[in-house]
Amino acid sequence: MPAAARTSEPFKELFSRALVEDMARHLKRAWKAFDEKRFTDAALNDFKSLELKARAQQIAGALKVTLPSDIPRALQVIVLTLRPLDKAGEPMDDPTKGLAGWAIWPMGEYVAQNGLDHPEESLAVLRALTIRSTSEFALRPFLVKHPKKTLATLKTWAKDANHHVRRLVSEGSRPRLPWGLRLKDFVQDPAPLLPLLESLRDDASDYVRRSVANSLNDIAKDHPDLVAGIAKAWLKDAPKDRARLIRHACRTLIKAGHGKTLAALGYSAPKIKLKFRLDTARVEYGGHAVFSAEIENLANKRQNLVIDYIIHHQKKSGARTPKVFKWKALTLAPKEKRTLERRHALKPITTRVYYPGRHRVEITVNGQVMAGAEFDLRL
């Protein structure tokens, strides 16, 4: 997604009348027969009532009714609207030269909706679009309808000189990309994606490597053992950047205490003594549960430890549901002790409804529950 400037306006205003009118000007420049008025009228129809994604889709619909009916010709027009690149392969700063940024999203939507019968031309346009912003959403229908051709194209793009194109390989093929079409076949079997991710694991760009990590994190949600195995294999003689990528890729599995992943990352079954103390038997809503853990290394060698905690929240039904929270990763020398303290807020948030009653906090070390205690939450 393009980076959004900080603004007090609603997020949807990133698609504005000014943006639509700017698109119209550049489309007219690219194709003299373009009907600017028809495009702006269609794109801005009842615009205020639409949210961000709906605005992008409506602008894409306006492109459909105003661009040439011959799709390859329409794709050529889109390319001619784009902002030229500088010597570094980035869009030039001058907006009068062409389109970049948020205007690219609805153009990608147009390609995804209308260019599926012209995959070769359409994929070339998506490559051009992604350099000016991203076409990670628009790529996905091509992976569904033309998986072999699209995967072959991605293999070529993985060697592209432009890091935006290389990132599209991993980001556009993420099985569970947020806001994007879910790639059900790759959710079920991610094997076709793995060679692409491996080819990018040591990419020179952190931007690309983080996308590889995000794709592996998607895969881990359905195939945890597979990603644990990849982590173990990739960590062999891994440079620092790859080791960092793997840890980021395994963040969900680490948080869940997945044993094979923790072992791959060097976190074995802990040999420790743990003293746990819960200082708040009762917590008023809006307050904090306060607790501490003293950890002593009982082994005769250094131990790498991941310490997390689980809050088992009381639900309306009376059942309790667990939520894992990150706490601390540390290394203890033989016989070394360390005391950790935590204040966990129990205050209003949009993603959780709290109910009064017995809650439980548990401490996990390298994925194993080591101690716990209960407290009452009062609303």
Q: Which two tokens stand for residue 307?
A: 């310490």
Name the amino acid, one letter, at 110: Y
Q: For 110, phi and psi rounded to 5 degrees?
A: -60, -45
pLDDT reported for residue 275: 97
Per-residue model confidence (pLDDT) at position 347 = 92
* Whole-number pLDDT of residue 323: 93
Which residue carries 């992976």 as its tokens? 143
CA separation for the pair 247, 179 (Å, rounded): 24
Q: Which amino acid is at 44?
A: L
pLDDT (0 to 100) of residue 268: 87
Predicted local distance difference test score (pLDDT) of residue 9: 73
| pLDDT at 8 (0 to 100) | 56
For the chain of 379 residues, list the mean pLDDT of each consecutive stretch of 10: 56 94 98 98 97 96 98 98 96 97 98 98 98 97 98 98 98 96 98 98 98 98 98 97 97 89 91 96 96 97 94 94 93 97 93 94 93 96
Determine the pLDDT at residue 1: 57
Q: What pLDDT sits at residue 256?
A: 85
User: What pLDDT is recorded for position 206?
Assistant: 97
CA-to-CA distance for 92 and 97, rounded, in angstroms? 8
Query: CB atoms < 10 A from the CB of 228, how many?
Result: 21
pTM of the model: 0.84
Residue 41's SS3 state is helix
Cα–Cα nearest to 339, from 373, 304, 307: 307
Domains of the chain and CATH, by start: 11-264 (1.25.40.290), 272-378 (2.60.40.10)
